Amino acid sequence: MFSLKGHSALVTGGTLGVGRAIAESLAKAGANIVLHGLQDDGDALDAVTTIREFGVSCDLITGDLAGPTEATLDALFDVAIDHRPDIDILISNAGTYREGPFLEMDYETFDRTMKLNVYSHFFLVQRFARRWIPSKTKGRVLLTGSINGRLAEHTHAAYDTSKGAVEMMVRSLCVTLAPHGIRVNGMAPGLVRTPLTAPALDQPGVQKWMELHTPNGCVPGPEVCGPAAAFLVSNEAWHIQGQMLLVDGGMSIWQQPDPPNS
């Protein structure tokens, strides 16, 4: 396996689901971790314990990234750098999945979605780039998008919009930062079972329906995302830049599934 020894990473939204899977894979590859989560709870403490078992350091930061955007992100950045001044990997993963029908969407829900799923990515990258460029640090950035950045759902207009923005952000920031030696890529998971998706998947017939719409027939756990993320920030992926890797079992390339009995 490729090595991330000698590197340090900030992983936002890293105490549960996809973020935790990414943090664990980075730690397994040797990276020191600064872990961000919404709150200092049992899940967060369990994540820190697990990550430290890989023989790396792990510090925990908590906070709601949907707060007043500039002050919130400045505080997160400052505390992360206090813990690990050598951070050269940013995994901007924190996000939200709160949603409802378009005609019933209220400003507050839409605003929170954009703050978490778009603003936090954009301005965290900016803050790290401002630190990395003067010091000539070869930073690596990974933004977590979603298959919803390409495939729309009728009750997820705000979420879909935010994830589409992330995909273009990856491309735009790559063009801006690649000349400075900073790599920017994204990862777009398909449907994976996490604490956020489990309630929907556990409704009668839903998981089987989603498996039918996925070419490999799988709705896996978030662990499928970890190794892909670790690869994209590794030295081996140095020439992969401005790309969105879809980890989705092929769902995004299938026009429609075959009838069940065909």
Q: Which residues does the annotation mark as catalytic?
A: 159
How confident is the model at residue 262, as a pLDDT?
54
pLDDT at 258: 72
Q: What is the pTM of this model?
A: 0.95
Q: Which amino acid is at 148?
A: N
Per the DSSP assignment, residues forming a β-bridge with 183 are 140
Query: What is the spatial distance between Cα 252 and Cα 153, in angstroms, rounded to a whole number?
Result: 13
Give CA–CA dist 46/15, Å, rounded.
8
Question: Are the C-beta atoms of 191 and 215 separated by less than 8 Å?
Answer: no
List the chain residues with pLDDT less than 50: none
Fold exhibited by the domain 8-249: Rossmann fold (3.40.50)
The residues facing 246 across adjacent strands are 188
Task: Please tell me the predicted confidence (pLDDT) of residue 206.
Answer: 92
Question: What is the structure's pLDDT at 195?
Answer: 87
The pLDDT value recorded for residue 208 is 92
- The 10s digit of each residue's pLDDT in 173-223 is 999 999 999 999 999 999 999 988 899 899 999 999 999 999 999 999 999
Which pLDDT does position 260 carry in this prediction?
65
Structural domain boundaries in the chain: 8-249
